[in-house]
Structure 1
Amino acid sequence: MLLSVGVLYAAAGYAQSPAKEVIHQQLVWLSYANTLKFHPKWSLTSEIHERRFINPNRHHQFVLRSQARYALGENWEAVAGFTYFRQSPNDPKATQRLVVPELRPHIQFNYNQPLGRLTITHRYRAEKRFFRNTSNGELAPGYNTNYRFRYRLGIEYRLAEINEQPLKLKLNDEIHVNAGNKIVYNRFDQNRIYAGLSYGVLDNLEVEAGYLHWYQQRAAGNQFYNRHIAQLTISHRIDLTKKQMGAED
Structure 2
Amino acid sequence: MIGLLFASPLFAQSLGKQVTKQQLVTYTYNNTLAFRPKWALTTEIQERRFRNPDEQHQFQISSRLYYSLGKSWGASVGFAYLLQSPQDPHATDDLVVPELRPYVQFDYRQRIGRLSIGHRYMIEKRFFRNTAYGELAKGYNTNYRFRYRLGLEYHIANINNLPLQVKASEEIHVNAGKSILYNRFNQNRIYVGLNYALHKNINIEAGYLYWFQQRVTGNQFFSRDIISLMIFHKINLNKKEDADPADIKK
TM-score (norm 1): 0.95
- Which of the numbers 87, 97, 101 marks the counterpart of 2:98? 101
How do residues 6-155 of structure 1 correspond to structure 2 at under 5 angstroms? 6-15=5-14, 17=15, 19-155=16-152
Partner of 1:185: 182
Are 1:197 and 2:201 an aligned pair?
no
Superposed CA offset, 1:219-246 (max 9, x none): 10000000000000000001001289xx
- The question of whether the paired residues in 1 share the 8 Å contact of 2:2 and 2:172 is answered with no
Q: Secondary structure of 1:242's match?
A: coil
Superposed CA offset, 1:108-159 (max 9, x none): 0000001110000000000000000001000001000000000000100000
1: CA distance, partners of 2:146 / 2:21 = 25
2: CA distance, partners of 1:9 / 1:228 = 20
2: CA distance, partners of 1:209 / 1:11 = 32
Gaps of 5+ in 1: 245-249
Q: Secondary structure of 1:219's match?
A: coil
Per the TM alignment, residue 55 of structure 1 is displaced from its structure 2 partner at its CA by 1.0
Aligned-residue CA RMSD (Å): 1.2
Are 1:170 and 2:167 an aligned pair?
yes
Are 1:211 and 2:193 an aligned pair?
no
2: CA distance, partners of 1:139 / 1:70 = 37
Per the TM alignment, residue 12 of structure 1 is displaced from its structure 2 partner at its CA by 2.2
Instruction: Tell me the number of residue pairs that the alignment of Structure 1 and Structure 2 aligns.
Output: 241
2: CA distance, partners of 1:224 / 1:192 = 13
Percent of residue pairs bearing the same amino acid type? 57
Superposed CA offset, 1:5-39 (max 9, x none): 21223322222x2x311000000000001100011
Amino acid at match of 1:42: W
2: CA distance, partners of 1:153 / 1:243 = 30
Q: Secondary structure of 1:38's match?
A: strand
Amino acid at match of 1:32: Y
Q: Secondary structure of 2:36's match?
A: coil
1: CA distance, partners of 2:9 / 2:223 = 16
Are 1:222 and 2:227 an aligned pair?
no
Partner of 2:246: none
Superposed CA offset, 1:163-182 (max 9, x none): 00100010000000000011
Are 1:231 and 2:228 an aligned pair?
yes
2: CA distance, partners of 1:201 / 1:103 = 34
2: CA distance, partners of 1:72 / 1:232 = 30
- The question of whether the paired residues in 1 share the 8 Å contact of 2:2 and 2:170 is answered with no
Gaps of 5+ in 2: 242-250
